[in-house]
């Protein structure tokens, strides 16, 4: 158990709030306090006795406050091992006071970077003394309690109030673990600031927030989400978010953000099974659902407009897992909340990361997120027939969906409505055949529809199959050595084709 009682505390914090109750308990337990600078002044203003670091070191704070605690008299008191006879002799010889509690709150480096401060201001917020104090105290956890940030103040207050300043070895080791989490996160943030040009090419990522999930992709797999989910969403209702929910939520958010008109989308397994853009939200919902009402069962719903009661009444007819919107009127919420497990998410507008990464084999792969969205001006006609303005609208619409669908993928659309898609196929021909079969099964006519492909056609077979189904306009990246064969077929059958020059593989 190796229980120890706190006798001497060194406090050096940037943020002084939340210290009052801690200092009060320290005073009641007759714990000696050592401090410096603004922290010392704050403690004195509250009327508590505090010993200056400068009194121990016989050196003033120098270099504009850059050097305050970096001294053998301080670090010797923290690192001295009580069970080591040589250490005990040396701290006696050099008149070093032992320290058994270190409380630190580091300079807010990340917040300073986010604020858009100058480089000089950012550099000055790189904590040197504080980070060194944390590492020293954590290293000597057998003798020292380390409180490395404000997040652990509650734990310290519990130690002081309920345990009368006594800690076990296990408690000190747990706090040391948290201390190294704080220091490694802090150093990672500094490294990433300096390494914006990726020189050296090293992968470092640190996220301090964790949200345990019910399970991973399957019930026999454990799952955890690392990140601040609440920064992006308020969960207004429903059961705990799952691993698969999160994957679908991400796919839904990236998809909807590429639309500017009022749009509704339904997703299943990261792919859209229904999308429509309409003047009214109710129309958008009905037409999105019409694309595939079978797959929509148990899906993820997302819109870029406030959900009203009329639309909610229509949506309520379907079983769904999650709905995401920037707002809901009160009546709509009442309708949705009738089912206790429905997850209702209110989206907050925050910047999304531009870099994506995932574990792979014994490492990690990283890439820039695909943020390219081709508009009419980016589509180069390569056939005799030129798409009409309405057809261009559908091409842009279909190409957005194809960008956010698993490869190989083909998307069929008309009048800014998804008619069907073939996704995740090993053959582009199979993806097209799947899309055509689904569209026909749900009663859609493909006459006048457009087709979008995430990659080029190596042969003219896809445009021929599309032509036979009634499709008259095609958008694809182009780039095949046999592009001319697809273009020639289109010219011979009064079809229009445009190239974007941009491939949108998604795996």
Catalytic residue (choose from 7, 16, 71, 139) = 139
Element (H, E) at 497: strand 496-499
Catalytic residue among 7, 16, 166, 269: 269
3-class SS letters over 250-305: HHHHHHHCCCCCCEEEEEECCEEEEEEECCCHHHHHHHHHHHCCCCCCCEEEEECC
* Six-digit token string for 313: 């009444």
Closest to 475 in 3D by CA, of 369, 391, 371, 416 = 391
Using alpha carbons only, give the angle 396, 402, 408 rounded to the nearest 5 degrees: 150
d(CA 423, CA 402): 9
Phi, psi of 357 (to 5 degrees): -150, 160
269 is catalytic: yes
In terms of Cα–Cα distance, which of 385, 420, 393, 416 is closest to 405?
420
338 is known as an active-site residue: no
Q: Which of 166, 414, 461, 462 is nearest to 290 (CA)?
A: 414
> Is 228 strand, coil or helix?
coil
Per-residue burial over 247-272, b if 16 or more Cβ lie within 10 Å, else e, is: ebbebbbbbbbbbeebbbbbbbebbb
| Residues 6+ away with beta carbon under 8 Å from 322 | 238, 245, 248, 249, 300, 301, 342, 343, 344, 345
Q: Do the beta carbons of residue 181 and residue 208 sit within 8 Å?
A: yes
Q: Max alpha carbon distance in the chain (Å)?
A: 98
Cβ neighbours of residue 370 under 8 Å, at least 6 residues apart? 403, 504, 506
* Residues facing 301 on adjacent strands: 266, 323
Whose CA is closest to 1, among 140, 155, 167, 176? 167
Report the catalytic residues. 139, 269
């Amino acid at each position: 158990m190796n229980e120890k009682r706190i006798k001497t505390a060194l406090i050096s914090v940037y943020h002084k709030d939340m210290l009052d109750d801690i200092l009060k308990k320290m005073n009641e337990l007759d714990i000696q306090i050592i401090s410096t600078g603004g922290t010392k002044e704050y403690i004195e203003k509250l009327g508590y006795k505090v010993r200056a670091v400068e009194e121990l070191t016989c050196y003033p704070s120098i270099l504009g406050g850059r050097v305050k605690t970096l001294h053998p008299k301080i670090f010797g008191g923290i690192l001295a091992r009580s069970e080591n006879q040589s250490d005990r002799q040396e701290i006696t010889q050099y008149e070093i006071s032992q320290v058994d509690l270190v409380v630190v709150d580091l300079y807010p480096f990340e917040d300073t970077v986010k604020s858009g401060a100058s480089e000089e201001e950012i550099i000055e917020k790189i904590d040197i003394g504080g980070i060194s104090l944390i590492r020293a105290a954590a290293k000597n956890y057998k003798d020292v309690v380390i409180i490395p940030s404000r997040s652990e103040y509650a734990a310290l207050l519990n130690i002081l109030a309920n345990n009368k300043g006594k800690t076990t070895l296990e408690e000190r080791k747990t706090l040391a673990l948290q201390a190294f989490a704080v220091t490694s996160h802090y150093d990672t943030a500094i490294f990433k600031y300096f390494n914006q040009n990726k020189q050296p090419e090293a992968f470092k990522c640190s996220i301090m927030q964790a949200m345990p999930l019910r399970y991973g992709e399957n019930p026999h797999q454990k799952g955890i989400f690392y990140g601040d989910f609440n920064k992006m969403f308020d969960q207004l209702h429903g059961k705990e978010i799952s691993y698969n929910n999160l994957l679908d939520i991400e796919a839904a958010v990236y998809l909807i953000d590429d639309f500017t008109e009022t749009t509704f989308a339904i997703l299943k397994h990261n792919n859209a099974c229904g999308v429509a853009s309409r003047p009214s939200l109710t129309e958008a919902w009905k037409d999105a659902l019409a694309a595939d009402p079978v797959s929509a069962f148990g899906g993820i719903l997302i819109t870029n407009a406030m959900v009203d009661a009329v639309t909610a009444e229509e949506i309520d007819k379907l079983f769904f897992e999650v709905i995401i919107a920037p707002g809901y009127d009160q009546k709509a919420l009442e309708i949705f909340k009738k089912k206790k497990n429905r997850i209702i998410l209110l989206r907050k507008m925050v910047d999304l990361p531009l870099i994506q990464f995932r574990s792979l084999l014994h490492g990690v792969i990283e890439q820039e997120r695909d943020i390219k969205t081709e508009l009419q001006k980016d589509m180069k006609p390569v056939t005799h027939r030129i798409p009409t303005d309405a057809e261009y609208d559908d091409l842009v619409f279909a190409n957005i969906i194809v960008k956010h669908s698993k490869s190989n993928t083909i998307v069929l659309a008309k009048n800014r409505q998804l008619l069907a898609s073939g996704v995740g196929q090993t053959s582009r021909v199979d993806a097209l055949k799947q899309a055509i079969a689904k569209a026909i099964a749900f009663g859609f006519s493909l006459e006048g529809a457009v087709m979008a492909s995430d990659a080029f056609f190596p042969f003219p077979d896809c445009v021929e199959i599309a032509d036979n189904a009634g499709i008259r306009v095609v958008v694809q990246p182009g780039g095949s050595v046999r592009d001319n064969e697809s273009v020639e077929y289109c010219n011979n059958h009064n079809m229009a084709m445009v190239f974007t020059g941009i491939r949108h593989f998604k795996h």
